[in-house]
Chains A and B, each alone.
Chain A
């Protein structure tokens, strides 16, 4: 936590949306404020409250700071959470 910040304030997390998820949401990123200590599952629920995000599939895979992460992964201020649609490289 940065000096001078009061304890218990929220944290800001940046979500990234790619490919079909970007098309569904109509945007490629979204900054959301969450209570400190929130996990990936809480972020996904917060994202679902935005616009067309309720049309995201029931289960989404995410990467936190470029590593695949579980719903239980605890987030910290400034994390980058990418919503990863089913992949089709090659």
Chain B
């Protein structure tokens, strides 16, 4: 299992290499990517911020929980923080499993729980020069 909160661009193929083994018939790579619009406004850039120590702990706990719930071989998750521009990968989740069904389900559960539990925030910068913290969701203890 591998979890990182990083200021550096995410090496997605490195994540895939970390999780794949010869016993795996499926590797799912999910990437969350910075898009150029939100709620009808044109977004030009984002800044992500994390409570880094807690975010890492929470992500590790989520991965351990998901690994226990599905027939997966390994998981690797990276979340980028700092300044990102359109098209940058903000989060990547790699899951390996003998069979695809478990890999898909585990990947989906990690991203959904990340969004509900992990203390990370997003400041959007708009084309008109304004900026605002994205209205997030009230965190749910995992």
Contact = CB atoms under 8 A, between A and B. Distances in A.
Are A and B interaction partners? yes
Interface of A: 16, 18-20, 23, 61, 63, 66-68, 82, 84-90
Contacts of A63: 51, 54, 119
Given A19-B133, A63-B51, A85 B121 contact: yes
The SS class assigned to the A binding surface is: mixed
A85 to B, nearest CB: 6
Ranked 5 nearest A-B pairs via Cβ: A89-B120, A88-B136, A86-B136, A19-B121, A68-B141
User: Chain B interface residue count: which class?
Assistant: 20 to 34
A68 B141 CA distance: 6
Interface of B: 32, 48-51, 53-55, 57, 79, 90-91, 111, 114-123, 133-139, 141
A86 B118 CA distance: 10
A86 B135 contact: yes
Best-surrounded residue of A19, A20, A66, A68 (most CB of chain B within 10 A):
A19
Nearest to A85: B121
A19 B124 CA distance: 12
Given A87-B118, A90-B114, A16 B136 contact: no
Given A66-B57, A87-B119, 8 more contacts: A19-B49, A66-B54, A82-B51, A87-B118, A87-B136, A88-B121, A89-B122, A90-B91
A37 B111 CA distance: 38
A86 B119 contact: no
